[in-house]
């Protein structure tokens, strides 16, 4: 198929590697080479990626702390006919990363938004987890505070299908302990460092994984997939929940 030139006044959402640089797509490379401007979560990180592939482009930052204000600059550039590539440090923009507010602003203003799909830690971990993929629910990161976490986790576990979460190495053991108390018969897959040199999939019950992390201090970011045993008793969002407390015990 013949490739077409980039369209003016278009925001391109370019997925970038989550670890292995070989995962970048040919289309992503072409968009990054031909766009007018790259809006990046971290210009230093993206600068290294562009230099690795021999690409030189103007860069502006667009991260969680300036996304709303930066949207104004991006809309102004789109109004002038620019084609802009929006990227994050890893994976698809807008998935537990900056991008959602920029996309919403561009769509509201009537500009074209075009996805350039590619690597995504969620999809990579889910498909290799061995758990159900027909229906799943992605919830990103849980709240840090204990009371909020338990309420949110219990509500999510009451949903059908596989639950997908992101978790840091500092709270993964805590998550397993929480799961063991709420849904001890769950099937869990914890994927870390997906596509990287030390990629690892750990599978088992919440208690067995909690024990593993007690013996082996975890490293790297995790994608956690949780599948209820069909014979487990039904959960409700509030049934059996401990008294509410937003105090953090971390």
Grade residue 205 by pLDDT with cuts at 50, 70 and 90. very high
Nearest Cα to 208, choosing from 183, 175, 228, 180? Answer: 180
**Each residue's pLDDT tens digit, 36-91:** 999 999 999 999 999 999 999 999 999 999 999 999 999 999 999 999 999 999 99
What domains can be seen in the chain, in order of their start residue? 10-119 (3.40.1010.10), 122-227 (3.30.950.10)
Q: What is the pLDDT of residue 175?
A: 97
For the chain, state the CA radius of gyration: 20
Residue 44 · residue 58 · CB < 8 Å: no
The predicted pLDDT at position 246 comes to 35
Residue 229 pLDDT class (50, 70, 90 cuts): confident
- pLDDT above 70 covers what percent of the chain? 91
Average of per-residue pLDDT across 138-142: 96
pTM of this prediction?
A: 0.87
pLDDT, residue 241, reads: 43
Structure tokens at 74: 């991006």
Contact call for residues 238 and 132 (beta carbons, < 8 A) = no
CA angle 79, 84, 88 (to 5 degrees): 135
Q: Does 200 have pLDDT greater than 90?
A: yes
% of the chain at pLDDT higher than 90: 88
């Amino acid at each position: 198929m013949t490739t077409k030139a980039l369209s003016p006044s278009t925001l391109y959402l370019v997925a970038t590697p989550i670890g292995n640089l070989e995962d970048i797509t040919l289309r992503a490379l072409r968009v990054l080479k031909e766009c007018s401007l790259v809006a990046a979560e971290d210009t230093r990180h993206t600068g290294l990626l562009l230099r690795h592939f021999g690409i030189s482009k103007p860069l502006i930052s667009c991260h969680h702390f300036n996304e709303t204000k930066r949207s104004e600059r991006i809309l102004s550039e789109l109004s002038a006919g620019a084609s802009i590539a929006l990227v994050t440090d890893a994976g698809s923009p807008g998935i537990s990363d900056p991008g959602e507010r920029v996309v919403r602003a561009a769509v509201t203003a009537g500009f074209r938004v075009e996805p350039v799909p590619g690597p995504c830690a969620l999809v990579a971990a889910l498909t290799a987890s061995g758990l159900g993929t027909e229906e799943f629910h992605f919830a990103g990161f849980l709240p840090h505070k204990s009371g909020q976490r338990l309420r949110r986790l219990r509500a999510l576990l009451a949903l059908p299908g596989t639950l997908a979460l992101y978790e840091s190495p500092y709270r993964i053991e805590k998550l397993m302990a929480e799961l063991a108390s709420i849904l001890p018969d769950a099937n869990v897959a914890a994927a870390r460092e997906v596509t990287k040199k030390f990629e690892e999939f750990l599978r088992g019950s919440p208690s067995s994984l909690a024990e593993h992390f007690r013996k082996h201090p975890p490293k790297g970011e995790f994608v956690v997939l949780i599948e209820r045993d069909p014979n487990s008793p039904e959960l409700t969002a509030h049934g059996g929940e401990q008294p509410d407390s937003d105090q953090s015990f971390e």
